[in-house]
Amino acid sequence: MSIADTGDLHNHHDHDALDHTHDPFEPVPPAVVPPKETLAAAGEILRALAAPVRIAIVLQLHQSQRCVHELVGALGVTQPLISQHLRVLKAAGVVRGERHGREVLYRLADDHLAHIVVDAVAHAEEG
């Protein structure tokens, strides 16, 4: 039976995902905690994303794969700085580089990370 069929969101077992309020006298089951290794890996990814230039790089790569000189032009920062930030993002598994002739084209490893950055930027813009 779906939520629409019942007409009552509070009878559905997944309502906690949308409703962050609860009766203070009703016990709340603990959240499922992933293994420590998974949490550590997630922390490394978030640390890699925790710089304005790296956020801007991810936003650029979310739109299209790019080489270093395209990122330099789009972001208005120096080539050594872009290369340094790309090394951090590569080490964290956020971006991948593929050589094409004399240039390396960078792209996001997957779209999950782009969604994190896009959502964080949208949240910051909301004030």
Question: Tens digit of pLDDT for each residue in 39-91?
Answer: 999 999 999 999 999 999 999 999 999 999 999 999 999 999 999 999 999 99
State the pLDDT confidence band at 1, using cuts at 50, 70 and 90: very low
* CB of 61 closer than 8 Å to CB of 95: yes
Sorted by where each starts, the structural domains of the chain and their CATH numbers stand as 34-126 (1.10.10.10)
pLDDT at 20: 62
pLDDT at 116: 92
In this predicted structure, the answer to whether residue 125 has a pLDDT above a threshold of 80 is yes
In this predicted structure, the answer to whether residue 5 has a pLDDT above a threshold of 50 is no
Angle at CA of residue 119, ends 65 and 54, nearest 5°: 45
State the pLDDT confidence band at 7, using cuts at 50, 70 and 90: very low
**Angle, nearest 10°, between helix axes 36-48 and 79-91?**
170
Where is pLDDT greater, at 26 or 121?
121
Predicted confidence (pLDDT) per residue in 16-44, tens digit? 455 567 677 888 889 999 999 999 999 99
* CB of 54 closer than 8 Å to CB of 122: no
pLDDT at 120: 94
